[in-house]
Structure 1
């Protein structure tokens, strides 16, 4: 693969973020769920519904022709409507997805680093995420400073301290 660049995500990127949410949900080979099934699941839809709320932040990786190939974003969730990786009110949860052809090319790491820096500069003390057991991204998260703080229902909740 040739290089990629990273740009901020904006309101017009909502559809692409939904595509990347579907990619993230379908990480396991041979277990592909259709887009409408993934986005019809309230626990997944919460990550993109109404994008871009005031506290939502994200980044998009684009190929040399400007086509989006991956995205990472974070949202805040409340205790009354916790997400899969909810840790506490005021701790944003990260979501990341990369098109299959661009995986293992450094795109995920680049997105993760850019979004982590955005959260740090935004004043957040921690960043959380949820990852299924067996997901190859688990090692990426660990190598970037995320640590497992809880494990249930085949998923790990991971947190990275930013300060």
Structure 2
């Protein structure tokens, strides 16, 4: 597996992974159009690669034309236009997804570790995210990396990792 920094050209990959993250149950709860129209979800990618944005894409180096295995990205969102895992204006929110066929192979661990390390290098004080009830694989990954639950938003917990 290869993890590289996301570029401006990766917006389609990140959109596909945002859809994957929101359809993590395997059911099509969101279509691409519905997801991008959702005011909260759309904030995670609108104007991708703004100052402060950071992202990574995991791929299979033996299959360069294959779809991404997963991606992670972080961006600060303001209180006036928060995402689902908002904690504070200076705490970037993470979004992450691993393609269904690549789950359980360490892709999420590699992406999360890479992004957290890069956030530390940037001097971020913390990162946050939202994890839905029932997504125990993701929740265990986040807890293993030191995230703690700091709030609740509908049927999801807001989790924070102090850096």
Q: TM-score normalised by the shorter chain: which range applies?
A: over 0.9
Question: How far is the alpha carbon of 1:9 from its aligned partner?
Answer: 0.5
**Residues 75 and 93 in structure 2, CA contact (< 8 A), matched pair in contact too:** yes
Question: How far is the alpha carbon of 1:85 from its aligned partner?
Answer: 0.6
Unaligned 5+ residue runs, structure 2?
Answer: none
In the alignment, what sits opposite 2:90? 90
In the alignment, what sits opposite 1:161? 162
What TM-score does the superposition give when structure 1 sets the normalisation length? 0.93
Question: How far is the alpha carbon of 1:76 from its aligned partner?
Answer: 0.5
**Residues 74 and 93 in structure 1, CA contact (< 8 A), matched pair in contact too:** yes
Per-residue deviation, residues 13-51 of structure 1 (Å, max 9, x unmatched): 011101000000001133542221112211111101110
Count, aligned residues: 159
Unaligned 5+ residue runs, structure 1?
Answer: none
**Residues 22 and 39 in structure 1, CA contact (< 8 A), matched pair in contact too:** no
RMSD, aligned α-carbons:
1.1
Aligned partners of 1:119, 1:102: CA distance in 2, in Å? 25
Out of 2, 12, 16, the residue aligned to residue 13 of structure 2 is: 16
Aligned partners of 1:30, 1:15: CA distance in 2, in Å? 21
What TM-score does the superposition give when structure 2 sets the normalisation length? 0.93
